[in-house]
């Protein structure tokens, strides 16, 4: 629950979000947790070296206690609640890390075009693990573009890029683009319809962030198989809308050790006991690496081939 002082502080952020489609919260996450997130990223890179560091997607972390601990941090949930209300689920989160002089560009797009959600009661939180600057490929947004509605995607193979698709140029007012420069621990929040992207990393410094997407629990995820069941992170679920998976206890084979992991295990067991409707994390015969490859193929194709009306 957001306390009164913080809520008053955040009201201006909420107004900015509604007007411009994005906002920035400074100094949200402390240095100790950021250090663990950096360790977690490196651990994942060693476990899954076949994937570029921009593509460490959530199927790779389906049983990962630290990942769930991070996306359920109360400071992040307070921000998500400000936008979406008190009943929240996280349906995807992944690291996007651009190596020095190598990280791919992300062409102009809208997140909502890749999400089959109804209604689109969703928002993205981008946690800066490293410093994010113009030089190393920070996020760029076009203020107010969230009012446009979701638009058609086009395939883009003419230049190296992360998503292999982009919006049509006619919708992109690049002259009004704003660079979102962040310090480690800052969080930028953006509307699912806002047009955004980022340049390649042309600097000598890495740019790493964790991109998290939350929904109000009244929102239906049309492809739960792809998202391995969302996680109920705050409040209550809605009967008949989505299946939520159990919170994982700490396991040294599926997570890094982290501060408070013993307490975390007790907490996760207590939460699961209070929610008998939770289901185990999906363990299909398909390896998680194949799930990620399937996800990347879906991202490349784009969920939206034609514009659709706003709900």
Classify 117 in phi/psi space as left (phi over 0), alpha (psi -120 to 50) or beta: beta
**Tokens in use for 136?**
């190393």
Q: What is the mean pLDDT of residues 252-272?
A: 95
Two tokens at 98?
């651009």
Q: Of the candidates 36, 29, 32, 30, which has an alpha carbon nearest to the alpha carbon of residue 256?
A: 36
Q: Which residues contact 274 (CB under 8 A, 6 or more apart)?
A: none
pLDDT the model gives residue 144: 97
pLDDT on residue 167:
78
What would you report as the CA-atom Rg of the chain, rounded to the nearest whole angstrom? 18
3-state class (DSSP) for residue 215: strand
Token pair 């007007």 in the structure block, residue? 19
Of 178, 137, 111, the C-alpha closest to 53 is: 137
Q: How far apart are CA 137 and CA 271, in angstroms?
A: 39
Q: What is the pLDDT of residue 46?
A: 85
Tell me how far apart the alpha carbons of residues 210 and 164 are, in angstroms, rounded to a whole number: 20
Please state, in angstroms and rounded to a whole number, the distance separating the CA atoms of residues 107 and 111: 12
Domains defined for the chain, CATH in brackets: 4-301 (2.60.120.620)
* Cα–Cα distances in angstroms (integers) from residue 148 to residues 51, 110, 111, 173, in the given order: 34, 10, 13, 12
pLDDT, tens digit, 9 for 90 and up, residues 119-150:
999 999 999 999 999 999 999 999 999 999 99
Task: Give the pLDDT band (50/70/90) at residue 226.
Answer: low
Structure confidence at residue 155 (pLDDT): 73
What is the rounded (10 degree) CA torsion for 162, 164, 169, 173? -20
Q: What is the pLDDT of residue 310?
A: 47
Average pLDDT over residues 107-115: 88
Distance, CA of 237 to CA of 217 (rounded, Å): 6
**Cβ neighbours of residue 260 under 8 Å, at least 6 residues apart?**
none
Pairing outcome for strands 231-234 and 165-167? unpaired
Label residue 311 by pLDDT band (50, 70, 90): very low
Contact 122, 83 (CB under 8 A): no
CA distance linking residue 13 with residue 24, whole number of Å = 7
């Amino acid at each position: 629950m957001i306390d009164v002082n913080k809520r008053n502080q955040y009201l201006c952020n909420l107004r900015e979000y509604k007007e411009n489609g994005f906002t920035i919260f400074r100094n949200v996450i402390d240095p100790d947790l950021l250090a663990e997130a950096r360790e977690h990223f490196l651990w994942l890179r060693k476990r899954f070296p076949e994937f570029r560091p921009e593509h460490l997607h959530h199927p790779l972390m389906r049983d990962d206690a630290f990942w769930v601990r991070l996306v359920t941090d109360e400071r992040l949930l307070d921000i998500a609640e400000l936008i979406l209300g008190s009943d929240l689920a996280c349906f995807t989160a992944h690291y996007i890390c651009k190596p020095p002089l190598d990280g791919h560009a992300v062409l102009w797009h809208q997140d909502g075009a890749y999400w089959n959600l109804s209604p689109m009661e969703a928002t993205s939180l981008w946690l800066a693990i490293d410093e994010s600057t113009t030089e190393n490929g920070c996020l760029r947004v076009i203020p107010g573009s969230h009012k446009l509605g979701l638009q058609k995607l086009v395939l883009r193979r003419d230049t190296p890029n992360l998503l292999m698709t982009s919006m049509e140029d006619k919708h992109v007012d690049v002259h009004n683009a704003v660079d979102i420069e962040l310090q480690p621990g800052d969080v930028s929040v953006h509307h699912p319809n806002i047009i955004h992207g980022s340049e390649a990393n042309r600097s000598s410094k890495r740019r790493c962030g964790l991109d998290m997407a939350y929904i109000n629990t009244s929102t239906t995820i049309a492809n739960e198989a792809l998202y391995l069941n969302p996680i109920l992170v705050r409040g209550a679920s809605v009967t008949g809308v989505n299946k939520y998976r159990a919170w994982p206890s700490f396991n040294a084979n599926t997570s890094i050790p982290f501060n408070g992991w013993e307490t975390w295990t007790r907490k996760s067991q207590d939460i699961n006991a209070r929610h008998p409707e939770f289901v185990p994390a999906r363990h299909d015969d398909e390896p998680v690496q194949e799930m990620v490859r399937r996800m990347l193929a879906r991202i490349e194709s784009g969920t939206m081939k034609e514009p659709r009306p706003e709900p």
